[in-house]
Amino acid sequence: MAKKKTPPADETAKTQAAPEAEAPEAEVPQAEAPETGAQEAPDPEAAEKLAALEKQTADLNDRLLRTLAEYDNYRKRSVREKEQAYADSKAAVLTELLPVLDNFERAAAAAGEYADYRKGVEMIFSQLQAAFAKLGVESFGAAGDAFDPNVHNAVMHTEDADAPENSVAQVFSKGYRLGDRVLRPATVQVVN
């Protein structure tokens, strides 16, 4: 059998002392090194820049919130104004037509001769035409006009050697426009 060699006493003491010597070093916390770096004095210029940027961010955020609130108010106001404009326009048109309605009511209630009745209806008709003219409504569509599919609604065709081709032969109902907007196309018969 082989004999175990025992290390000399000096080496044993060194090996036993070495782990003890290392242990205190291992107990030194690692976190102390970063703390010493953090304890350095902060740069005053960087702190000023940071404060300025934070103030600028707060100002921009405030401006953004105010802009959003202004836009929301604008949107709500626009909706109200649109509704009000529609109601005002409708009221203006009906106000113009109310006297015509009154005269039709009087004509229906009046008992009299046929000539008087006809005269009353003609007066009402002229009053209604004046109300439409005041509102800017124009009538169009007459026999002999050139056919335009944008403003005429052709419901019939006819052959006529005396009339030019694609012209209006007969008008069943007049068309009306308000400025450039066609309120109702004229219903017509067209020559082929």
d(CA 35, CA 14): 35
What proportions of the chain, in percent to the nearest 5, are helix, strand and coil?
A: 60, 15, 25
Burial class (CB in 10 A: 0-12, 13-18, 19+), 153: middle
Provide the pLDDT for residue 4.
55
The pLDDT value recorded for residue 16 is: 52
pLDDT at 21: 47
Tokens encoding 5: 């060699």
What six digits make up the tokens of 180? 């450039």
Q: So what's the pLDDT on residue 151?
A: 92
Distance CA 104, CA 125 (A): 9
Query: ∠129-134-135 over CA atoms, to 5°?
Result: 100
pLDDT of residue 77: 96
| Per-residue pLDDT of the chain in tens (192 residues, 90 and over written 9) | 555 555 555 555 555 544 444 544 545 455 444 555 455 667 889 999 999 999 999 999 999 999 999 999 999 999 999 999 988 888 888 788 888 877 877 777 776 778 888 888 888 888 888 888 888 888 898 888 999 999 999 999 988 888 888 899 999 988 888 888 888 899 999 998
The pTM of this model reads 0.51
Distance, in Å, from the CA atom of 101 to the CA atom of 93, rounded to the nearest integer, reads: 13
What is the greatest pairwise CA distance in the chain? Answer: 157
What is residue 10's predicted lDDT score, i.e. its pLDDT?
54
Q: Note the pLDDT of residue 73.
A: 96
Half-sphere exposure of 36 (CA within 13 A, CB side): 5
Instruction: Please tell me what DSSP assigns to residue 1.
Output: -
pLDDT of res. 101: 78
Residue 91: its pLDDT value, please?
83
